[in-house]
């Protein structure tokens, strides 16, 4: 498959026959999952929802079956789960939504508008953290600003991509951490990355659990070390130990 930075995105017109598939990787997310899936359904009733479970032992599967068109299983790991969900889906456009992230009501309209430009291969949304508070609000704005300046994004920002481009890039790399960062770097080679200003709302639970300042420093350190060439396997061990 080609990974040439000069390859153009395939032209398309979402207003005529394009379909959306939303892939949601899940592992023990019963507290958040219903809100996540309901928001997807309410914003795009005709979209295909594919939930990929990584071995949940709580009520996640019960909730998923109420909303999803497909509930499938894969080995645990976001890259593996998301790639398998994409493989099982049928849409011309793929959207990857974490199980603790709520999309805005206009998300499909926002994606459609972005992809009307045939040079745009995919993109991501701005993000805010739930729970309010000045620090949480500031972190969300900083994440959105940084990714806008770099034309990149993370999985918490609901990455979307044309299927043809996703397949040409080989999907998410099968690594234990930073798969979203690696994928977005490849996506920038394929064409323009849209930075949608509408906000997805992601859970701040890991920030609250680890402390806001400590968590953001840890995340920035992990990303910086990855970009400097430290292996994802080593980074995954450090991240697990630091949590």
Residue 154 resides in a domain: yes
- What CATH number does residue 234 fall under? 3.90.550.10
Query: How is the beta sheet containing 48-53 ordered, strand by strand?
Result: 70-73, 48-53, 20-26, 93-96, 159-162, 120-129, 192-202, 101-102
Residue 6 resides in a domain: no
Residue 29 resides in a domain: yes
What three-state secondary structure class fits 122?
strand
Residue 130 resides in a domain: yes
Residue 187 resides in a domain: yes
Q: Is 232 a residue whose pLDDT tops 90? A: no
Residue 43 resides in a domain: yes
Residue 10 resides in a domain: no
Question: What confidence tier does 135 reach under pLDDT thresholds 50, 70, 90?
Answer: confident
Residue 3 resides in a domain: no
What three-state secondary structure class fits 36?
helix
- Residue 2's pLDDT is 36
What percentage of the chain carries pLDDT values higher than 70? Answer: 86
Instruction: Please write the tens of the pLDDT for every residue from 148-177.
Output: 999 999 999 999 999 999 999 999 999 987
Domain count, the chain: 1
Q: Is 14 a residue whose pLDDT tops 50? A: no
Phi (first) and psi of residue 36, to 5 degrees: -65, -50
Task: Give the domain extent around 41.
Answer: 20-242
Give the up-direction half-sphere exposure of residue 99: CA atoms within 13 A in the CB hemisphere. Answer: 25
């Amino acid at each position: 498959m080609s990974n040439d930075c000069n390859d153009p995105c395939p032209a398309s017109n979402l207003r005529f026959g394009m379909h959306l598939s939303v892939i949601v990787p899940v592992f023990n997310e019963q507290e958040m999952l219903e809100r996540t899936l309901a928001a997807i359904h309410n914003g795009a009733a005709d979209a295909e929802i594919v939930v990929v479970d990584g071995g949940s032992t709580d009520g996640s599967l019960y909730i998923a079956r109420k909303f999803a068109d497909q509930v499938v299983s894969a080995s645990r790991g976001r890259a593996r789960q998301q790639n398998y969900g994409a493989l099982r889906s049928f849409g011309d456009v793929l959207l990857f939504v974490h199980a603790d992230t709520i999309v805005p009501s206009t998300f499909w309209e926002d994606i459609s508008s972005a992809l009307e430009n045939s040079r745009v291969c995919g993109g991501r949304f701005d993000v805010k953290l739930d729970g309010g508070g000045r620090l949480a609000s500031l972190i969300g704005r900083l994440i959105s600003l940084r990714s806008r300046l770099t034309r990149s994004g993370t999985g918490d920002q609901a990455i979307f991509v044309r299927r043809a481009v996703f397949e040409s890039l080989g999907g998410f790399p099968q690594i234990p951490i930073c798969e979203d960062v690696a994928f977005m770097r490849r996506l920038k080679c394929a064409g323009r990355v849209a930075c949608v200003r509408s906000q997805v709302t992601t859970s701040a639970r890991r920030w609250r659990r680890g402390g806001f300042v400590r968590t953001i420093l840890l995340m920035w350190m992990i990303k910086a070390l990855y970009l400097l060439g430290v292996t994802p396997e080593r980074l995954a061990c450090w991240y697990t130990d630091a949590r």
